[in-house]
Structure 1
Amino acid sequence: MDNVRIDKWLWAARFFKTRSLATDAVDNGKVRLGGERIKPARAVKAGDLLAIDNGAENWEVAVIGISDKRGAAPVARLLYAETEASIARRANEAEGRKLYREPGSMIKGRPSKHDRRALSKASE
């Protein structure tokens, strides 16, 4: 297999839970190939450098394997290699989230009056 659509590859590499989420991310410019916006039908090949924003984290990866089948996570991990800068940045962001939690991160659903007052007090 020489080439696969970028949205299929992102789904197979487990950056997105569904292929439609991967397609939407590519359409909205959340996935870039060499700094350029791409279309979901763009073929990905080994050696491509991708910048991926999947909502939770930002990744910078080099494609080392091609697959259009979604498999187990250890198998999906073999499809890409994360850059050293990306690893350091994600670790730094995780440490920052551990030290400073967002005020509204513990609230589930619509905040109550009490929750809203606590949020506004925390943002002052």
Structure 2
Amino acid sequence: MLKSVCLKKHAVPEDTFVKCKNGEFANDETLKCYFACTLKTMQLVSPKGILEKKPFADKMRMLSPPSIMEVILPAIEQCTDKDVGNVCENAFNFMKCSYEVNSKTMNYFPI
């Protein structure tokens, strides 16, 4: 459901998501803003457009079982609190970093 809501706002081709799951992140503004949309809709982004470690981790703990948190938590620890001044860019950087920490994180985000 979350994916379809954000795809209406940011039309990203399905093959782009397949590439992301394989570590290929296109430097594309639509993709970046799609990621921001999903994270904002999940209320994981601060009002300033930053993915802040503690609120992000707390929210994911509420949404995810412990087995998923084992995969996601290291990415949250290493990939949040990095503001480049643009929510779309912040979300994109988080997703890329998450993949680098553990490629399995892509299974738990709406892509």
Q: Do Structure 1 and Structure 2 share a fold, with TM-score over 0.5?
A: no
Higher RCO by CA contacts (8 Å cutoff, separation 6 or greater) = 2
Task: Identify, as 1 or 2, the structure richer in strand.
Answer: 1
TM-score normalised by the chain length of structure 2: 0.26
